[in-house]
Amino acid sequence: MFIILNWVLSVRRKPVFYYVITLFVVMLILMSCSLKNSSFC
């Protein structure tokens, strides 16, 4: 948990990683869409 918080803080110092986070979220949504278990579809 501490590592995750530390990573989030480092992301705040490096706005470029917001793009990576967005891609990760999109991938999760697409995966859940393929499983038909998401309301985003």
Helix axes 17-34, 2-13, angle to 10 degrees: 120
Whether the pLDDT of residue 1 is over 70: the answer is no
For residue 15, what are its two tokens? 């706005």
- Which sequence spans correspond to the domains of the chain? 2-34
Does the pLDDT at position 22 exceed 70?
A: yes
Angstrom distance (rounded) from CA 21 to CA 5: 14
pLDDT(40) > 70: no
Q: How far apart are CA 25 and CA 33, in angstroms?
A: 12
Q: Is the pLDDT of residue 13 over 80?
A: no
